[in-house]
A = this chain, B = another copy of it.
Amino acid sequence: MRPSQALRLWQQVLLSQVRENEPDLTMRQTAILLTIYLDPPPHTVRGLAARLNVTKPVITRALDTMGALKLVSRHRDELDKRNVLIRRTVEGALFVERFGDGIVAKAHELPI
């Protein structure tokens, strides 16, 4: 893949996301969402903050927003009640799946 193709792909995917009024997540939120859905659980606020090199409140707020959108859910860890475990949801899985399919579709439409 050449940089010009990569940029064009990125543009096309973003354009379709924006145009179709998908939830307007920030770059950070999207990074968090994909990490939750691609990296193996368990996911904690602290772990995500470390993985993204951001502060914990950033994760907390992102989870608030994505929780309201039903893209993720929070559950208190029963073994260590200080922890909050972030879990995937059906809606979130569908959203991520749709997103991945969108990328592949746009990649196929690209000129060579």
Give the B-binding residues of A (Cβ under 8 A): 1-4, 6-11, 14-15, 17-19, 24-28, 30-31, 34-35, 37-38, 51-54, 96-97, 99-101, 103-104, 107
Task: Specify which of B10, B11, B18, B52 is in contact with A19 (CB 8 Å cutoff).
Answer: B52
Within 8 Å by CB of A24, from B7, B19, B26, B100, lies B26
Interface of A is mostly: helix
Those 5 A-B pairs whose CB atoms lie nearest each other, nearest first: A3-B100, A6-B103, A14-B31, A11-B34, A7-B100
Q: List 16 A-B contacts (CB under 8 A).
A: A1-B107, A3-B97, A6-B103, A7-B37, A7-B100, A10-B99, A10-B103, A11-B31, A15-B51, A17-B31, A18-B31, A18-B53, A24-B26, A24-B27, A24-B28, A26-B27
